[in-house]
A and B are shown apart, each in its own frame.
Chain A
Amino acid sequence: MGGLDAGPVARTEHTFEPWENKTDAIVRLLSNPKSGPLMRIDELRRGIEDMGPGIYDELTYYERWIASVANVLIEKGVIHVDELGRKLEEVKARHTPASSPEH
């Protein structure tokens, strides 16, 4: 996007949430030569660019990262789309009212 038109720079900052720090760490571990590397930073970027400009602007920074990681790992056969689906349900189930008496 270098050289394109855009408005003034809004000098925003935010405190990173635990899941953002986790996503950052996943990418660091996957791109570390010690893991192969299983996924390079260029592949992370390619995965983000594949989303297209519409989704790019809808997602936050680390949302784009984790979505790209999941897609690239599925593409490379490191994880399977079905097992990711099952694991997502498992994660969500931990947060349902049944497991949380406060709700």
Chain B
Amino acid sequence: MSHDHPHHHDHDHDHDHPDPHAPRKDLEDTPPTYHQALADAVAELLIEKGVFTGGDLRNTIEYMQGRTPELGAKITARAWVDPAFKAKLLTNAKEAAAEIGIDTGPAPLLVMENTPDVHNVIVCTLCSCYPVFLLGKSPDWYKSREYRSRVVRDPRTVLSEFGTDIAPQREVRVHDSTADMRYMILPMRPEGTDGMDETQLAQLVTRDSLIGVIEVSAPA
């Protein structure tokens, strides 16, 4: 579920597309807000000072746009079919991900496994730390005051707002991320998926299940 690919326009569902051939006002023609101008000004000053180059900036933007929940889903599906990979993932997530060519980013990462006895969910109460290298940019609600305040105190109610009801006998663990430690959830493989291969399994895994606010469900 990537939001960052304006060129992949999906015309199957209709938003407001009045006339695709009408002349489009270029973004440059609208005066920037103060903060938009500030982003340009800071970027240009840092480039002039040689802190980084324009190429570094473009490459970083592109690289981060390529980070999507599909990466987290791929790791999850591999862990479901390969017990040795799963064991490694839970003890050394960075090395395990690297084995299948996935970069987990500069921050240390722990993968927490959901089991019939324990459900895990992540938050960052201080700011917005998130496994961005495996899931892409975090959704707005993850950074909201409401989610960050309440999920640590009353996780079961917050989870039920996402339609996830955790049985009372199942423990809920909330992992508070920091700049020095990120978490991703390894969801439980749903029942009735025995005949599915790794690629099909990966397609079941959603971003929200890797955050831990929902569980992965079997295809209907």
What is the interface of chain A, defined by CB distance below 8 A to chain B? 1-19, 21-26, 28-33, 35, 38, 40-42, 44-45, 48, 57, 59-63, 66-67, 69-70, 73, 78-79, 83-84, 87-88, 90-92, 94-96, 100, 102-103
Contacts and interface: CB of A to CB of B under 8 A. Distances in A.
Interface string B156-185: 001001100000000000001001000000
Contacts of A88: 37-38, 41
Interface of B: 3-4, 6, 25, 27-32, 35-46, 49, 51-52, 56-57, 60-61, 64-65, 106, 123, 125-129, 137, 139-141, 143-150, 152-153, 158, 161-162, 176, 179
Given A16-B4, A91-B40, A92-B37, A2 B45 contact: no
Contact of B4 (A11, A21, A42, A44): A21
Contacts of A44: 127
Given A21-B61, A95-B31, A95-B32, 14 more contacts: A1-B145, A2-B126, A2-B148, A4-B149, A10-B144, A14-B3, A15-B3, A16-B4, A22-B43, A25-B60, A40-B179, A66-B39, A79-B46, A83-B45
A8 B42 contact: no
A69 B29 CA distance: 26
A36 B146 CA distance: 35
A33 B27 CA distance: 34
Contact of A66 (B27, B42, B139): B42
- The winner among A2, A6, A29 for most chain B CB atoms within 10 A is A2
A28 B133 CA distance: 12
A7 B60 contact: no
Contact of B52 (A12, A35, A60, A78): A35
